[in-house]
Amino acid sequence: MLIPTLKENPADAEIKSHQLLVRAGYIRQIASGVYSYLPLGKRVLRKVEEIVREEMDKAGAHELMMSALQPAELWKESGRWNTYGSELMRLHDRHEREFALGATHEEVITSLVRDSIKSYKRLPLLVYQIQNKFRDEKRPRFGLLRGREFLMKDAYSFNESFESLDETYDQMFTAYSNVFSRCGLDFRAVIADSGQMGGKDTHEFMVLSEVGEDVIAYSDTSDYAANIEMAPVVMDYPSSNETPKELSKAATPEQKTMQEVADYLGHDLDKGLKSIMFKVDEQFVMVVTRGDHETNDVKLKNFYDADIVELATEEETRQLLGTGFGSLGPINVPEEVEVVADRAVEKLINVTCGANEEGYHYTNVNPSRDFNVKAYADLRFIKEGDPSPDGQGIIQFARGIEVGHVFKLGTFYAENMNASYLDAQGKSQTMVMGSYGIGVSRTVAAIVEQYHDESGITWPSHIAPYQVHLLSLNPKKEDQQRLADELYEQLQAAGIEVLYDDRKERAGVKFADSDLFGIPLRITVGKRASEGIVEVKERQTGKQDERNQSEIVDTVRQWFDN
């Protein structure tokens, strides 16, 4: 059987799930972010797929399989051919026609449905597939957590109205909660940012983990949880009772960072203004925040409803404002620079900011008096300790791995691709869509992140590749070999999934591999084989016991039943 285990962690594996899945012979990388699933890995993948299938079918979705090869025309119709850069893997066929490898399937499913559904009687429609997706990530890493070819379940709903979409969305929400609970995961559904998808509500299902790339802002007393990218800051900033002083200028010759300037001028960070230059689509924008806050680029993008938001370069900044990043400020900026500020700035009194002159800062700056802004808006990242947006409790942070994402897409694709239906009055209406994704291969890795110990993986019982790992310690001994062979037959005859290690290897090698694999129950045939006695050990707890051969099938059945 192909299970190439390794004693050492692969050099490029930084996190436990990546290390253990490779060392235990579950996966092998063939290119950056591209993996093959070996027999143990494929069996686990199938177990997670089956849980997803059962919950999707229970929710009334029907499985289909779309093509991974997608004609560019569809992406030109939706207008997305050019909004995705090099992340969308593109190729030409033998006739030089343009194709994309499927990164997602909104365009394909919409083109399928618009040609086959014409009447409101056929809605709502809910279909899904489980298929490899291709996204040319700039920095693939962490094994299956961020790959360039990965297994996704993607579902799409077509509804008559937003009310109907709400119902489908809630059904999917429940199905997702069931999937991740059955996978044994500690997860949270968090309010997310719908990004360039347009659409309204969207939730991400996050598995709590220190290696998660996403940060979740959650309330310490209510069930409020949101991706930090979009978590709104809902708080009243107290008006300062200071009297505004005369604006003045101070030399800050060596001071570059916010902290150095604050220390030099003798105030805290929150009495300084931080000005960051962005390019929002083609417009230069200076975002001003309080010195102890961070600009949230996703909020900025949504504020401008922009396609691209990126930091301006130092030379662009120098050309515009005559100085580098160390002394930027909103006072007297040229008109091609638009100034927006976070709401926390509006009522500040007597603060400092860069003078747009190398080595100088203004002091006693009073925003409402000394500079004007296009708008004050919620443009900063929420912070730990801020009040929870739902008004209950205080915000804490946690890191999460996004394993699912449900979207209310609205009519974006149906409008762009003419997916319409005739309503009960015979009037043509635009379909309303939802899309619902689960990262199946990413879920496998997330499970390992939550289920492992220092010796290897400790799978939840019904995710493991096999239920029982049967070891014969000394196959040369006739009585051991015979008992182990008999047990193998008995367990299989009882319908129990058993992996049998009958290799001519030292016991230590077999035990080390067994700990790596993480199969829930291990049955070891050793010295007491002559008495028909074997050892049974639970992988997760380490609890072990001796059993007579005649009790084994019942012991295993009972163990998996409760």
Q: Which residues bind ligand 9G3 (CB under 6 A)?
A: 84, 87-88, 103-104, 135, 154, 197, 405, 407, 435-437
Using a 10 angstrom Cβ sphere, with 0-12 exposed, 13-18 middle and 19 or more buried, the burial of residue 512 is middle
List 133's β-bridge partners, or say none.
150
DSSP string, 15-54: SHHHHHHHHTTSEEEEETTEEEE-HHHHHHHHHHHHHHHH
Task: List the beta strands (DSSP E) in 228-324.
Answer: 248-251, 273-280, 283-290, 309-311
Tokens of 61: 């979705």
Using the Cα atoms of residue 11, residue 16, residue 20 and residue 22 in order, give the sign of their dihedral. negative
As measured in angstroms, the least distance from the Cβ of 87 to ligand 9G3 is 4
Q: From the CB of 404, what's the least distance to ligand 9G3, in Å?
A: 8
Please give the structure tokens belonging to residue 497.
């999934």
| Smallest separation, CB 440 to ligand 9G3 (Å) | 12
Q: Which is nearer to ligand 9G3, 436 or 466 (CB)?
A: 436
Q: Which is nearer to ligand 9G3, 82 or 544 (CB)?
A: 82
Q: How many CB atoms lie within 10 A of CB 545?
A: 10
Q: Which residue has the tokens 């560019």?
A: 72
**φ, ψ at 542 (rounded to 5°):** 80, -5
Shortest approach of ligand 9G3 to residue 438 CB, angstroms? Answer: 8
H helix runs in 120-269, sequence order: 162-182, 258-265
| Rounded alpha-carbon distances, angstroms, from residue 93 to 26, 85, 106 | 34, 20, 22
- Residue 39 Cβ vs ligand 9G3, minimum distance, rounded to whole Å: 28
β-strands 468-472, 456-457: how paired? unpaired
Nearer to ligand 9G3, 172 or 556 (CB): 172
| Minimal distance, residue 436 CB to ligand 9G3, in Å | 6
Query: To the nearest whole angstrom, how small is the minimum distance from the Cβ of residue 107 to ligand 9G3?
Result: 9
How near is the Cβ of 103 to ligand 9G3 at its closest, in Å? Answer: 4
Taking the C-alpha atoms of residue 324 and residue 276, their distance in angstroms, rounded to an integer, is 11
Q: Which is nearer to ligand 9G3, 65 or 493 (CB)?
A: 65
Of 109 and 331, the one with the shorter C-beta distance to ligand 9G3 is 109
Residue entry with tokens 């604006």: 247
Q: Which is nearer to ligand 9G3, 104 or 219 (CB)?
A: 104
Residue closest to ligand 9G3 when measured from CB atoms: 437
Q: Please say which residue, 114 or 135, places its beta carbon nearer to ligand 9G3.
A: 135
Pairing of strands 125-134, 62-63: parallel
Considering beta carbons, is residue 81 or 360 the nearer one to ligand 9G3? 81
| 341, 288 Cβ separation under 8 angstroms | yes
Nearest distance from C-beta of residue 407 to ligand 9G3, angstroms? 6
Smallest distance, Å, CB 155 to ligand 9G3?
7
Nearer to ligand 9G3, 155 or 333 (CB): 155
Q: 18 or 408, CB closer to ligand 9G3? A: 408
Tokens 């009297």, located at residue: 243
Q: Which is nearer to ligand 9G3, 104 or 352 (CB)?
A: 104
Among candidate residues 249, 246, 277, the one with its CA nearest the CA of residue 357: 249
Strand pairing category for 428-430 and 187-191: unpaired
Q: 462 is written with which tokens?
A: 């019904």
Nearer to ligand 9G3, 200 or 347 (CB): 200
Give the span between the Cα atoms of 532 and 497, in whole angstroms: 22
Element (H, E) at 336: none
The minimum distance between CB 83 and ligand 9G3, in angstroms, equals 8
Q: At its nearest, how many Å lie between ligand 9G3 and the CB of residue 99?
A: 13
Give the shortest CB-197-to-ligand 9G3 separation in angstroms: 6
User: Of 88 and 552, which CB lies nearer to ligand 9G3 in the complex structure?
Assistant: 88
Nearer to ligand 9G3, 197 or 286 (CB): 197
* Separation of alpha carbons 294 and 75, rounded Å: 35
CB 287 within 8 A of CB 275: yes
Contact 469, 501 (CB under 8 A): yes
The CB density around residue 25, as the number of other CB atoms within 10 Å, is: 20
- The CB-of-74 to ligand 9G3 minimum distance in angstroms stands at 11
H helix or E strand, kind and range, residue 508: helix 507-517
Question: Would the CA dihedral through 15, 20, 26, 28 be positive or negative?
Answer: positive
Q: How far is the CB of 319 from ligand 9G3 (least distance, A)?
A: 33
Q: Does the CA dihedral 43-203-217-33 come out positive or negative? A: positive
8 Å CB contact between 499 and 469: yes
In the complex with ligand 9G3, which residue's Cβ is closer, 148 or 469? Answer: 148
Beta-bridge partners for 544:
537
Helices (H), 136-267: 162-182, 258-265
